[in-house]
Amino acid sequence: MLLEHVGEVECVMFPGIGLGEDWRFEAEDIVGQALLVGGECVHLSVFPSSEASSPVGRGGRIAPPSRRRRRRTGPTDEVL
């Protein structure tokens, strides 16, 4: 289970951009972040680490924005 040992992982705290504190953590099998405001966790993100996750197959991963091609067509830049 992904959340099995989140509470056991050592965290590194950074000041939040707005309110609260940004807590980041990384273990052998998980990586994540939590936003704490007033000592309460208001947001938690946990993902399998790349070492722990197995490839889904060709095209199974999301390409980074720098490698994505714009696939939708939109309005042209022509002046009418």
Task: Give the model's pLDDT for residue 67.
Answer: 64
For 2, 6, 23, 41, the CA distances from 47, given in Å and listed in that order, are: 7, 11, 14, 17
| pLDDT, tens digit (0-9, with 9 covering 90-100), for 25-40 | 999 889 999 999 999 9
The residues, ordered by sequence, that sit 6+ positions from 10 with a Cβ below 8 Å of its Cβ are 25
- Confidence label for 3 from pLDDT (cuts 50, 70 and 90): confident
Dihedral sign, CA of 33, 4, 52, 11? Answer: positive
- Give the separation between CA 46 and CA 43, rounded to whole angstroms: 10
Domain boundaries along the sequence of the chain? 6-52
